[in-house]
A = this chain, B = another copy of it.
Amino acid sequence: MKISAQEEYGLRCLVQLASLNEGESVTLPQMAEREGISTANAGKLMWLLNKAGFVQSTRGTKGGYLLARPANEIRLSEIIKVLDEDVIDNHCGSYTGVLDICVHKGDCGIRPVLVGLHEIVENALSQITLAQLVGGERKVDAMFHSIQGIHRTLEANRV
């Protein structure tokens, strides 16, 4: 499985915006430099995120980008769905809907795996907000403890 470049850098740019103080904004060249990508590339990402309503832009001198919604109301799952098709998708067709592209109409051997992965990833990402990725170890630790909880549950439910 791969996290696409678009997902990764899009998310990173949003974290930058979430870290701004009241009234500040960031320009494309600044953003690009901080993430190690080209300005053109950052521009394309921000265009997507702007269309989707995550960021607000102003043109001209003193222009730039800032978040259009409060950072603690933006869930990572939403972001990923805008930057890519879904939190996880596969080659053969959406396994959350009807599987009609694939040859395995009724008896797809790996479908339970796809559905299961989709569910746990969607769950995890929908519980993390941009605000939680800003400033610090405390929040990161909390997230990690949640993940350790998952670990224990899987052990207990071992099939």
Chain A interface (Cβ within 8 Å of chain B)? 1-5, 7-9, 11-12, 15-16, 19, 34-36, 76, 80, 84, 87-92, 102-104, 109-110, 112-117, 119-121, 123-125, 127-128, 132-134, 139-140, 142-147, 149-154, 156-159
Cβ–Cβ < 8 Å partners of A127 in chain B: 154, 158-159
A84-B1 contact given A8-B92, A12-B109, A159-B127, CB 8 Å threshold = yes
With A2-B90, A19-B109, A119-B150 known, 6 other A-B pairs at CB within 8 A are A8-B91, A15-B109, A117-B124, A127-B154, A145-B157, A150-B153
Cβ–Cβ < 8 Å partners of A34 in chain B: 103
Q: How far is the CB of A159 from chain B (nearest CB, A)?
A: 4
Please report the C-alpha to C-alpha distance between residue A120 and residue B36 in the assembled complex, in whole angstroms: 28
Q: How far is the CB of A118 from chain B (nearest CB, A)?
A: 9
Are B112 and A140 interface neighbours, CB within 8 A? yes
Can you list 15 A-B contacts (CB < 8 A)? A1-B2, A1-B7, A1-B80, A2-B2, A2-B90, A5-B91, A12-B110, A109-B133, A110-B133, A115-B144, A116-B124, A120-B147, A120-B151, A123-B151, A146-B154
Are A159 and B147 interface neighbours, CB within 8 A? no
